[in-house]
Amino acid sequence: MMTLGRSLLMVAVLGAAPALAQSDIFHGWAKDGSWLAFSRPGRNEVVELYFCKTTEAAPKWPAVLNDQDSMTEAGLECVRFLDQNKAPYQWQKLVSAGDPGTSRNGLAIAAELVTDGESPGFVVEGGGKAQTCAASGLREASKLQKAFWHPSAKFVAVVIDGTFHHCLLTVKAGKAPAIPPKKK
C-alpha cells in the first residue's frame, strides 16, 4: 500500500510532466525583418501569441497592432494576444521562419552554450569573430533545441530549453572557403 507522501509525490511528478513538454513556438519574421511572431504556453492551457518589433524602426506589420498596448517579452517590445482569434486576420501568411539549422550563410551557433559569467547565452560565430547573444535562465544542462536565421543574416531566433530567444547580429558571415581545383 502506498503512503500518502508517496502518492502526493507521484501526483506532483505526473502533473508536472505535461508542463515540461510545452515549448515556445517561433512562427517567423516578416519579410523585411521588422517584426516577428512567436507563441508561448500560458496558464490554464491558454497559448499567448506575441508580435514583436525587432529594431528601433517602426515595424511594417498589420496596422491594428499599432493600437495595442506593448510589453517587453524575450527582450523585445511586443504586443500580446491571449486570444489568438483576436490577432490580425491571416497573420500567419505574413511571417516565415524558414528551415531550422545551427548554421546558415557563413554564420554558425557554437555547440556549447555560455551558462556562467555575466553574459549567459548562445554564441554566434562568423568571419573569424564571435558574438554572445543573451539568453537568461540557462543551466549547465541547457540544450539548444532549434535555431532559425533571417534571410538577411541580421537576426537569429532560437529555442533553448523550450524558451524563445532572439538576437540582432553584429557578426558578419565570412567568405566561403575557396574550393580547391580538381586534380586531373
Looking at residue 21, its pLDDT comes to 56
Domain residue limits, the chain: 22-96, 98-145+152-172
Tens digit of each residue's pLDDT, the chain (184 residues):
444 444 433 333 344 334 445 899 999 999 999 999 999 998 888 999 999 999 989 999 999 999 999 999 999 999 999 998 999 999 999 999 989 999 998 999 999 999 988 889 999 999 999 999 999 889 999 999 999 999 999 999 999 999 999 999 999 887 654 455 565 5
Looking at residue 18, its pLDDT comes to 41
Please tell me the pTM assigned to this model: 0.80
Tell me, letter by letter, the H, E, C secondary structure of the chain: CCCHHHHHHHHHHHHHHHHHHCCCEEEEEECCCCEEEEEEECHHHCEEEEEEECCCCCCCCCHHHHHCCCEEECCEEEEEECCHHHCCCCHHHHEECCCCCCEECCEEECCCCECCCCCCEEEEEECCEEEEEECCCCCCCCCEEEEEECCCCCEEEEEECCEEEEEECCCCCCCCCCCCCCCC
Looking at residue 184, its pLDDT comes to 54
Looking at residue 122, its pLDDT comes to 97
